[in-house]
Amino acid sequence: MPQMFKRAVLAAAALVACSSAAHAGAITVYSALEEDEIASYLAAAKKAIPDVQINVLRLSTGDLGARILAEANNPQADVIWGFAVTNVMNPGIKGQLEPYAAKGTDKLAPAYKAPDKTWFAATGYMGALCVNTEVLKAKNLPMPTSWKDLTNPVYKGEVVMPNPASSGTGYLQIAAILQGMGDKAGWDFFKALDPNMAQYTTSGSKPCKMARAGEFAIGASLAFAAMKSVEAGYPVKMVIPSDWAGYELEASGMLKSSKHKADARKFLDWTLSASAAEQYKAYKAIITMPGTAPSKTAAAAGLPADLSKVLYPMDFAKSARERDAILKTWQATIKR
C-alpha cells in the first residue's frame, strides 16, 4: 500500500474513532507527535487513567495547524497535544485554547508555559550536528564545534541540513541564528554557509542519517537522531553548536469548545506526571519537568544534563510572527 494512501487510511480511521467518541469518558486529541511515541505514551496513559478513552488523530505539524484553523468555527477536538509552540502562537490557534493550569505546571520554568495558562510544554526537540568521525579522519577535516565553523571552506560539499521551508527542524535552526545574529548579519552568514552545503533535505532527521552512512561528514539535524545514531554504534559524534543552538517546544492545551473538559483535564494532568516523563525518555532530548534524570542514551551521546546552558533562548512569538517573511527571504536568498 503506498505510504501516502496508508496515512490517509489511518487518518480516516482515526476520524471515525473520534466521531464515535461522543460519550462521557472519551476525548478527541489532535497531535503532531510521531506515531510510535504516541502508541507508547497511550499505553502508559491507559494504565494511569483507565476511565478516559483517548482517541488521537495524528497529523504533521503543517497539516495539523491547517486543520485546527479550518475547524475554528466548529472545533472537533478536546485537546491539542505535543504541537510545535511556534504554531500554537498563531492567534487563530491560541485563541481557541482555554486557560488551564495542569497539575505540575507550577513546577515548570516560565519558558515552558504560557503566562495566560493556555498552553504548557512537557517536551521539546533541539538541533544538533551529527558528525561522522571516520569521514573526518579520512579527509583530514577538523571537528566542528559551532555553526560559524561550518563556513570554513574545508567543509565544502560535506554539510547537509534541512530546508526550513519544508522542515520544522530546519526552521528552528534558521530562526535561532537570525535571532542570535540579527537579520543583516544572519542573512550574510547563510550566504557564506551555502557554498559548503551539499544539499538541503526535506526531513529533519535525514541529514543525520546521511552523515552516519558516510555520504557526508556533517548533518545538521535533531539531537535525538544523533543520540540514537550513537546508541546504534554508528561512527557519529553529537555536537551541540556553541552558538545559536535552536530548539522547539511541543505544547499542549485544552480547547474552549471541549464538551469533555473533566476528562481533558485528567489527560493533560497525566502528560506532566512522573509516569509520562519516564516514557518521554525513550523519544525526547528535551523533557521540561524538573528532576527527570537524562536517559542512558542521552548521557552516552554527551547531552548536557542542564540544557539551559547550551540552548539559545528562543523568542517563540517572534519566530511565529516572522515565519512567512523569513521563509520568503530564504527562498529569495538561497534559491535552492
CB 301 within 8 A of CB 231: yes
What does the alpha-carbon distance between residue 232 and residue 124 come to, in Å, rounded to a whole number? 22
Type and span of the H or E element at 87: helix 85-88
pLDDT digits (tens, 9 = 90+) for 45-99: 999 999 999 999 998 887 899 999 999 999 999 999 999 999 999 999 999 999 9
pLDDT at 24: 54
Strand partners, 162: 201
CB 137 within 8 A of CB 237: no
Supply the CATH classification number for the domain 126-246+309-334. Answer: 3.40.190.10
pLDDT digits (tens, 9 = 90+) for 271-300: 999 999 999 999 999 999 998 888 889 999
CATH architecture of 3-124+248-304: 3-Layer(aba) Sandwich (3.40)
CATH 3.40.190.10-classified regions of the chain: 3-124+248-304, 126-246+309-334
pTM of the model: 0.84
pLDDT along the chain (336 residues), means of 10: 42 41 75 93 97 94 91 96 94 97 96 96 96 98 98 98 90 96 97 97 93 98 94 97 95 97 98 96 92 88 89 93 94 90
What does the alpha-carbon distance between residue 290 and residue 112 come to, in Å, rounded to a whole number? 11
